Chain A
Amino acid sequence: MSEELIPIYIMGKQYMVPPTLTIMKAMEYAGYQLIRGVGCRGGFCGACATVYRLPGDYRLQIGLACQTVVQPGMYLAQIPFFPAQRAAYRLHELQPTFQTLFTLYPELMRCLSCGTCTKACPQDIDVKQYMADAMRGDIHAVADRSFDCIMCGLCAARCPAEEAQYNIAILCRRLYGKYLAPKAKHLLERVKEVEEGKWDAAVEELKGLSEEELRKRYNARDIEPE
């Protein structure tokens, strides 16, 4: 690690940290034992949404603290929680239609298509576009385009129309997964077989084998080619 430290400002307070660290590791280096604003530390959970600004630039930048390397003079604050609304629903009572989206999230139609959400997304998702898809009732398109969403809430935090985009997105993904995606026939058949006990005897037989016999079967098993 380089010996030279750089200044960063955590909620306005200066700390000197090694320049190779991510924002999260830099906060720990500075002495924070994190409770909020830390989760998987691998860019999947959305706990560590962070807003920052660089010296001489008025623009706000966004990033995940676990995935963004510090820069000299960075001013930062975390947004570990955003009070966006999740509509009350039970998936099995819904239909996969535009009407469902509009009923649960009527503010959907207030979207201005300004694109602030897209700029704010640390996952590079085109949030503006999937909101447009939602306004057209294209649930499949929303589900597909929003798939990499980690629900960090930065889109909602920056939205001038006060949308909760990520909650609309998960509703669409669940509607798609349950109602619209083509069904896997082989899965339904296997479920039926298991419930009817078709495989019980075969498993029971293996359970009854000695370790030596089981080992023999294992080493001799055929392997499906790539």
Chain B
Amino acid sequence: MSYTAEMRESIKRVEATRPARLSETWPMMSPAEKKEILEKFHPDYIREGMREIRVGVSKGQRMPLELAEVMEGHSHLRSDSLDLEQIDYDTDVLVIGGGGAGASAAILARENGAKVVLTTKLRFGDANTMMAQGGIQAADKPNDSPAIHYLDVMGGGHFANVPELVEALVKDAPLVIKWLEDLGCMFDKEPDGTLVTIHGGGTSRKRMHSARDYSGAEIMRTLRDEVRSYPEDIVVLEFSPAIELILDDKGQCAGAVLKNLETGEHLIVRAKCTIVATGGSGRLHYQGYPTTNHYGATGDGVVLCYRVGARLAFLDTMQYHPTGAAYPEQILGLLVTEKVRGLGAQVCNVEGKQFVNPRETRDVEASAFIRECVERGKGVRTPSGMQGVWLDSPMIDIIHGPGTIEAELPAMVRQFGRFGIDITKEPMLVYPTLHYQNGGIALDVHGRTNVPNLFVAGEISGGVHGRNRLMGNSLLEITVFGRRAGRAAALQAKEVSLGKLTLAHLDKWERELKEAGVEPKIVSPILLPDYTRKVR
């Protein structure tokens, strides 16, 4: 595969400017410059890409068109489709979602005395957590503090974040790193045990902890192994997504209807408390963007929670990761970890010139890439008509010594090496890719929603990150709020008494759709993206 002749010409220019760039730092943008570039180039500001949702408790909130269509879908079920007395699993806590938040929740719920059912759409661990490469933030160095972390998070989120949620995030962060270490996570360390920490976009201290560039995978496989250590207390159901939440006649959440994806069979789970941790929605491909997300990221959880009346927050803001692979085509949209920039790689245009500091927050960085390609015409064209800018990875070995790239970024070296590109010697071509759902279901510091006995944790939730998430705060969020929701749900389950189970809310939902004049084109949650006979 490797690069085309035209791209090689551009790479020569990148190499020519490299010696001088090594001692250059591109200035960070002023607050006014940031505002301007976001409003002009960030996909969240493209008006025709968004609309208001026409039904439900948060009627009138804006969100991407593709999400609004899924949210306003018909249910897979009717209120009288199933006999809800035929209960297949009766449990204290039902966790929906088998990623990092779900696994953390299950572990803490068990520790706090609950019997748990964890159900997931694909395999346990098939989740965006597994793919997070860069790291996890925690203020645990002497020159850092939870207060400094707090300020970084608020600034990164454009001061829209819910303060109490940010407080929980930053204060729990060191506790979570210790918890993960006690579970056997291998974070990068100096020989004396000092945790290796580096910068990420928008951090004012080096507080990004990593496990090479398999940070999320290391956390996910460790949490999964821990869950599997307690089969008598935690039942794991794979390939069994929830297709609707169940309420009781007192309006409390009381479990879910699952569907066995392979046999089509419906399963009824009655649960005193339910934690929805189904992640985000990148596979809805907002505004046609490629995505870094897992195959299962189809926004199922927000659909389920919204239908039982849970409130939404910040769903009009999505994160576009600045460095998605733009070439080769086989890995289009794949995440190139921010750690590459964290280690010192700069960004260059087709002429080999810098145009943005590599350490701006993700939204600003992505907007700068879009401006360089779309407005200034200084992107590098690929054979399939994509554009991108260079991420000058070979600089890392020059700055930190030969072998650093192989040691610190083995996954990236392998990913590109499979297609004949040696990132230790050649730069990578990148362009923004749909990465993260900043908003979702509103929650309190224990993961509670406004619906009794319904909790959320992780990417499905909205409020922690405000209008933009910093790198390393999602692995942190899933563990912090997974643990909090798991603990709170287990404790609350001891007090809950459930009434008669019902799906009457589906009748109400259909009535609302009708009254609003909405004629859904689809049935949701959609569960699987449809890529058949297409190339994506």
**A, B assembled together:** yes
- Which chain A residues have a beta carbon within 8 Å of chain B's beta carbons? 1, 18, 20-22, 25, 28-36, 38-45, 47, 67-69, 81, 86, 88-92, 123-124, 143, 147-148, 150-151, 170, 173-178, 181-188, 190-191, 194-195, 199-200, 202-203, 205-207, 211, 214-215, 217-219, 221-224, 226
State which of B48-56, B409-417, B482-490 sits at the interface with chain A: B409-417
Q: Indicate if the CB atoms of A202 and B159 lie closer than 8 Å.
A: no
Q: Contacts A123-B414, A194-B175 hold; do A199 and B146 have CB atoms under 8 A apart? A: yes
- Interface residues of chain B, those whose CB is within 8 Å of chain A, are 31, 122-123, 125-126, 128, 130-131, 139-143, 145-148, 150-152, 154-155, 159, 163-164, 167, 170-172, 174-175, 177-178, 181-187, 189, 191-195, 199, 204-206, 211-212, 214, 216-218, 221-222, 225-226, 228-231, 239, 261-262, 292, 294-296, 329-331, 334-335, 344, 384, 410-411, 414-415, 418-419, 528, 530-536
A189 to B294, CA, bound (A): 37
Chain B contacts for A176, CB-based, 8 A: 184, 186
Are B532's CB and A47's CB within 8 A?
no
Could you tell me if B532 and A28 are in contact, using CB atoms closer than 8 angstroms?
A: yes
Q: When A45-B131, A177-B185, A218-B151 are in contact, do A29 and B534 touch as well, CB less than 8 Å?
A: yes
Count contacts between A and B, CB distance < 8 Å.
234
New contact pairs (13) apart from A91-B183, A148-B212, A177-B187, CB-CB < 8 Å: A33-B532, A36-B239, A39-B123, A39-B294, A41-B294, A44-B217, A147-B186, A174-B222, A176-B184, A184-B193, A191-B174, A203-B171, A221-B204
Main secondary structure of the interface of B (DSSP, over half): loop
Note all chain A residues with C-beta closer than 8 A to B221.
151, 170
Complex-state Cα separation, A148 to B534, whole angstroms: 32
CB distance from A136 to the nearest CB of B (A): 20
Task: Kindly identify which residue among A68, A69, A173, A177 contacts B181, using a CB–CB cutoff of 8 Å.
Answer: A177
Q: CA separation between A214 and B418, bound complex, in Å?
A: 47
With A35-B262, A194-B174, A214-B159 already in contact, the answer to whether A91 and B214 are too (CB < 8 A) is no
The 5 closest A-B pairs by CB, nearest first: A174-B184, A182-B193, A202-B147, A218-B155, A177-B184
- Given known contacts A45-B130, A143-B186, A187-B140, A203 and B147 CB-to-CB distance under 8 angstroms: yes
Known: A45-B130, A178-B183. A218 touches B193 (CB 8 A): no
Given contacts A42-B335, A175-B184, contact A184 B194 (CB under 8 A): yes
Docked-complex contact B414 and A124, CB < 8 angstroms: yes
Q: How far is the CA of A188 from the CA of B140 in the complex (A)?
A: 9
How far apart sit A202 and B151, CA to CA, in the bound complex (Å)? 11
In the complex, what distance in Å separates the CA atom of A223 from the CA atom of B344?
Answer: 15
On whether A1 and B330 interact (CB within 8 A), knowing A174-B184, A174-B222, the answer reads: no
A91 and B184 form a contact (CB under 8 A): yes
Cα distance A186–B246 when bound, in Å?
A: 46
Residue of B whose beta carbon sits closest to that of A219? B31
- Across the interface, do A199 and B126 meet the contact criterion of CB distance under 8 Å? no
17 intermolecular pairs with C-beta atoms under 8 Å apart: A21-B330, A29-B532, A44-B131, A88-B231, A147-B186, A150-B217, A174-B184, A177-B181, A178-B181, A181-B193, A182-B189, A187-B195, A199-B147, A202-B145, A203-B150, A206-B147, A224-B199
